[in-house]
Amino acid sequence: MKRVITLQDISCVGKCSLTAAIPVLSCLGIETSVIPTALLSTHTAFDSFFSVDLSEEIDSISEEFHKNNISFDAIYTGYLGSYEQINEISGFIDSFRSKGCIVVIDPAMADDGELYAGLPKDFVAHMRPFTSKADVIIPNLTEACLLLGIEYKEPSLFAKEEIRQMLYHLADMGPEGVVITGIHFGEKEMGAVSYDKKQDVLSEARSIRHQGRFLGTGDIFSSVVTGCLLEGQTLSGATEHAVHFVNRCIEETEKAPDKRWYGVNFESCLGELTGYI
Ligand code: PXL
């Protein structure tokens, strides 16, 4: 069984980051190890939240991993709330990256043209060099613009060629694989595009476009891509599965009478993931 280590926060309430990544990866048949990088009462979209940075613990945990000869088939990072976390995890990647280990970085820091609440304005300047360490990066459209230093606009205003150039330019920054999420395809469809630099393959995956914003879908998306890559699938295949699964989670959320604004009902769909492997 393949083993991933995912480094991101644990938010006690608000389905995202580790509480989304662990079930999704486990259902994809991947042993899922974690390092919680911060502990939050809720994710940062709630009006108020309590947060403790756990960056200082990463070194001691890594040391013990080395003493126990623990290794990983993939290192997957999500939301990181401080420069210290980026620096510590950058060191973790250097120390645990081995032959055949895939490094997946989701630069989870912004959406709808805005940085997440509480992140410093110059966070992007620290995230940019960090993403160059990845084999695969999975930004949403806002994060892709921030990483490339280009102005964000409504997703429907991006031309196909513009998106293609963004994929190429992000790949020029280091990663072999780039997936950009939150792409609009006309009025009724949305999805993701991917570029596999080694294979020189561009792909797009579409599903129905739902109205409104659905929190935590980026984390679910990146977890599906990471799991499918570890199962030996291509980047375009993994992207196709992730688009399909996120759409299913949104469909289930929309059906629910107690529809919650702070996360999607991925729990109702977890069983479907076994069909992806
Ligand atoms: O889903 C992304 C995410 C993860 N973790 C925390 C967040 C967010 C988005 O707001 O606040 C703590």
Taking only the tens place, the pLDDT of each residue in 197-228 is: 999 999 999 999 999 889 999 999 999 999 99
Residue 204's DSSP bridge partners are 193
What per-residue confidence (pLDDT) applies to 157?
Answer: 97
What per-residue confidence (pLDDT) applies to 236?
Answer: 98
Residues 236, 205 contacting (CB under 8 angstroms) = yes
Give the ligand 1 atom nearest the CA of 42.
Answer: 12
Measured CA to CA, the distance from residue 191 to residue 182 in angstroms comes to 6
Give the ligand 1 atom nearest the CA of 40.
Answer: 12
* Sign (positive or negative) of CA dihedral 5, 10, 13, 14: negative
Residue nearest to atom 12 of ligand 1 (CA): 43
101-117 average pLDDT score: 97
Does the pLDDT at position 251 exceed 90? yes
Q: How far is the CA of 16 from the centre of ligand 1 (A)?
A: 6
Share of the chain above pLDDT 70, in %: 100
Give the ligand 1 atom nearest the CA of 218.
Answer: 1
What per-residue confidence (pLDDT) applies to 67?
Answer: 98
**Residue 61: closest CA among 72, 45, 50, 49:** 72
Q: How far is the CA of 54 from the centre of ligand 1 (A)?
A: 16
Q: How far is the CA of 230 from the centre of ligand 1 (A)?
A: 24
On the 0-12 / 13-18 / 19+ scale of CB atoms within 10 A, 239 is buried
**Residue 166: closest CA among 184, 186, 185, 146:** 146
Residue nearest to atom 2 of ligand 1 (CA): 216
Q: How far is the CA of 213 from the centre of ligand 1 (A)?
A: 13
Does the pLDDT at position 257 exceed 90? no
**3 state SS of 42:** strand
| Beta strand 189-196 pairing with 177-185 | antiparallel
Q: Extract the tokens encoding 127.
A: 């995230």
| Beta strand 51-53 pairing with 201-208 | unpaired
Measured CA to CA, the distance from residue 138 to residue 7 in angstroms comes to 15
Measured CA to CA, the distance from residue 235 to residue 136 in angstroms comes to 9
Residues with CB under 6 A from ligand 1: 9, 11, 16-17, 40, 43-45, 79, 108, 116, 216, 218-219
Does the pLDDT at position 259 exceed 90? no
Q: How far is the CA of 49 from the centre of ligand 1 (A)?
A: 12
What per-residue confidence (pLDDT) applies to 25?
Answer: 98
Which residues, including other chains, have CB under 8 Å from residue 162's CB and lie 6 or more apart? none
Note the Cα 207 to chain centre separation in Å: 19
Cα Rg of the chain (Å, integer)? 17
49-67 average pLDDT score: 97
91-114 average pLDDT score: 97
pTM of the model: 0.98
Residue nearest to atom 1 of ligand 1 (CA): 216
Confidence class of residue 168 from pLDDT cuts 50, 70 and 90? very high
Q: How far is the CA of 107 from the centre of ligand 1 (A)?
A: 11
Q: What is the mean pLDDT of the chain?
A: 97
